[in-house]
């Protein structure tokens, strides 16, 4: 492959990405070469661009942590052949061509588009592995999802409902409330008009599990609405800071607080990641999951996608076509 390709770059920390024409990467004999079709933005991309992500990178670097594409070439014994459509979980997905290790890719269902697949792994994988694993969510229990209209929040609503839980979603604004209800929430609280989230949740019967990608005051309020024996899942801090949780309440009420970082499972338990994605693909094939893209933008408009994410104007994932 000799022609130039297009890729995004973070040239300096604190700056939005720029698009450049560059030579294509050359895959090592043990790597898979991919023609990328789409990539998804995550809140982690904003943190990485500011140098605040737990896995930092020195600029210039290609952003993006997940995407989907088609295999151009693959090493023998990898189980992959040219033409296989796959998802990829690796840094640098905002590039038209990338080379990755075989363990970073997984074939996708025939009915799944590359745009759907691009934003599937991190959001759905986070929610599935957190809820089914650390959260130990059971059918008939009550799940509270903060930031329920966001990229991971919507997946937690869908997966919680698919697992037979009663889901209470928290979202801001009528449009987002409607989307969360359509995703499977039994009840939705509009945080724009709710003066006391803790009281509102208690009026709805409190919670067995709280899924918190927001943190700050909403996380603190939801924590206080947990029933004895409840589980609090720390997913992220889109609200700007971690929640301040009263550990005396955790002690007295036997509440478990679990931090969950999906990317960390690449080292902690990579097989659990693959098994989780396989289970999610089965749910997709059965029609029980409906990936929602908040916006689909071309690579040239990637900086606009960063703004949408930063200002929380997206519903679901922001997907970039490549």
Task: Tell whether 50 is covered by a domain.
Answer: yes
Residues 209 and 221 in one domain: yes
Residues 252 and 133 in one domain: yes
Task: Tell whether 32 is covered by a domain.
Answer: yes
Residues 105 and 140 in one domain: no
Task: Tell whether 136 is covered by a domain.
Answer: yes
- What is the pLDDT at residue 316? 73
Residues 47 and 134 in one domain: no
For residues 118 and 145, what is the distance between their CA atoms, to the nearest angstrom? 23
For residues 223 and 256, what is the distance between their CA atoms, to the nearest angstrom? 10
For residues 245 and 75, what is the distance between their CA atoms, to the nearest angstrom? 49
Residues 110 and 150 in one domain: no
pTM for the model: 0.84
Residues 89 and 173 in one domain: no
Secondary structure letter of residue 297 according to DSSP: E
Angle at 311 between CA 307 and CA 313, to 5 degrees: 95
Residues 154 and 250 in one domain: yes
- What is the pLDDT at residue 293? 64
Q: What is the pLDDT of residues 24-76, one digit of tens each?
A: 999 999 999 999 999 999 888 998 999 988 888 899 999 999 999 999 999 99
Residues 131 and 192 in one domain: yes
Residues 131 and 116 in one domain: no
Q: Is the peptide bond before 267 cis (omega within 30 degrees of 0)?
A: no
- The stretch 268-277 carries a mean pLDDT of 90
Residues 60 and 189 in one domain: no
Alpha helices in 1-145 (DSSP H): 43-49, 114-118, 121-129
- What is the pLDDT at residue 3? 87
List CB contacts of 201: < 8 A, sequence separation 6 or more.
144, 168, 189, 207, 221, 222, 225
Task: Tell whether 280 is covered by a domain.
Answer: no
Query: Final residue of a domain: which of 221, 244, 263?
Result: 263
The CATH number assigned to the domain holding 176 equals: 3.40.50.720
Evaluate whether 190 touches 173 at the Cβ level (below 8 Å). yes
Q: Domain tally for the chain?
A: 2
- What is the pLDDT at residue 1? 58
Element (H, E) at 259: strand 256-259
Q: What is the pLDDT of residues 118-152, one digit of tens each?
A: 999 989 999 999 999 999 999 999 999 999 998 89
Task: Tell whether 311 is covered by a domain.
Answer: yes
Domain hosting residue 66, numbered range: 5-120+291-321
Task: Tell whether 310 is covered by a domain.
Answer: yes
Residues 116 and 78 in one domain: yes
Q: How far is CA 101 from the centre of its chain?
A: 21
Q: How far is CA 42 from the centre of its chain?
A: 6
Residues 96 and 170 in one domain: no
């Amino acid at each position: 492959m000799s022609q130039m390709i297009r890729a995004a770059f973070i040239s300096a920390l604190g700056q939005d990405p720029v698009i450049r024409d560059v030579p294509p990467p050359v895959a090592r004999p043990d790597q898979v070469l991919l023609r990328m079709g789409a990539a998804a933005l995550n809140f982690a991309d904003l943190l990485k661009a500011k140098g605040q992500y737990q896995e930092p990178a020195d600029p210039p670097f290609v952003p993006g942590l997940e995407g989907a594409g088609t295999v151009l070439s693959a090493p023998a014994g990898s189980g992959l052949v040219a033409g296989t459509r796959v998802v990829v979980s690796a840094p640098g997905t905002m590039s038209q061509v990338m080379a990755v290790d075989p363990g970073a890719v997984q074939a996708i269902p025939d009915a799944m588009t590359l745009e759907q697949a691009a934003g599937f792994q991190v959001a759905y994988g986070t929610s599935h592995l957190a809820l089914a694993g650390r959260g130990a969510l059971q059918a008939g229990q009550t799940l509270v999802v903060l930031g329920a209209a966001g990229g991971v929040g919507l997946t937690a609503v869908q997966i919680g409902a698919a697992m037979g839980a009663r889901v209470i979603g928290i979202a801001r604004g009528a449009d987002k409330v409607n989307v969360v209800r359509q995703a499977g929430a039994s009840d939705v609280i509009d945080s724009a008009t709710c003066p006391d989230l803790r009281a509102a949740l208690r009026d709805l019967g409190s919670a067995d599990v709280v899924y918190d990608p927001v943190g700050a005051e909403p996380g603190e309020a939801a924590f206080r609405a947990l029933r004895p024996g409840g589980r609090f899942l720390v997913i992220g801090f889109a609200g700007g800071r971690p929640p301040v949780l009263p550990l005396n309440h955790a002690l007295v009420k036997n509440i478990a607080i679990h931090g969950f970082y999906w990317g960390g499972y690449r080292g902690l338990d990579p097989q659990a990641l693959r098994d989780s994605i396989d289970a999610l693909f089965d749910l997709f094939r059965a029609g029980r999951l409906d990936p929602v893209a908040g916006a689909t933008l071309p690579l040239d408009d990637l900086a606009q996608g960063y703004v949408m994410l930063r200002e929380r104007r997206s519903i679901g994932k922001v997907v970039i076509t490549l």
